């Protein structure tokens, strides 16, 4: 099955997706990431109010195969976390683009604009 890479999102080299809406980005892991990880069994997310630097590790996703850090696509403050993932981390496998992890208030728009486009990310995944 081909990896889904929605056109309306931005992407990181570490396989997170980001969507900007009213100066807040929503962040999750990509279809490619969840497929590579296998069955996800645990997610650790940051506290609301935590300030992150761009590319700073903010949490962990654990699958039956491995444990991977999650990295912030931009600098900013965590304003919301998806608590539902604590109870049902497998939703990241089932619906990776609906199962967001954190929402971060944007400090600098240019960091978001510099993230990968869907075309750039597709090239990265093929490589």
Confidence band (pLDDT; 50, 70, 90) for 127? confident
From the list 76, 78, 70, 69, the residue with the least C-alpha distance to 53 is 76
CATH architecture, domain defined by 12-108: Beta Barrel (2.40)
111: which DSSP letter? H
pLDDT in tens, 11-70: 999 999 999 999 999 999 999 999 999 999 999 999 999 999 999 999 999 999 999 999
Task: Tell me if the pTM is above 0.75.
Answer: yes
Look at residue 18 and give its three-state secondary structure.
Answer: strand
pLDDT in tens, 71-98: 999 999 999 999 999 999 999 999 999 9
Q: Which distant-in-sequence residues (6+ apart) come within 8 Å of 30 by Cβ?
A: 3, 5, 11, 15, 16, 17, 96, 97, 121
Dmax of the chain from CA atoms?
Answer: 38
């Amino acid at each position: 099955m081909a990896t889904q890479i929605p056109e309306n999102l931005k992407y990181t080299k570490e396989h997170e997706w980001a969507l900007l809406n009213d100066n807040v980005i929503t962040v999750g892991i990509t279809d490619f990431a969840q497929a590579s990880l296998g069955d996800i069994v645990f997610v650790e997310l940051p506290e609301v109010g935590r300030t992150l630097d761009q590319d700073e590790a903010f949490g962990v996703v654990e699958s039956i195969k491995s444990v991977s850090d999650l990295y912030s696509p931009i600098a900013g403050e965590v304003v919301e976390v998806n608590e539902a993932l604590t109870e049902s981390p497998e939703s990241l496998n089932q619906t990776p683009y609906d199962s967001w992890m954190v929402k971060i208030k944007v400090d600098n728009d240019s960091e978001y604009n510099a993230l990968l486009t869907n075309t750039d990310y597709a090239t990265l995944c093929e490589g």
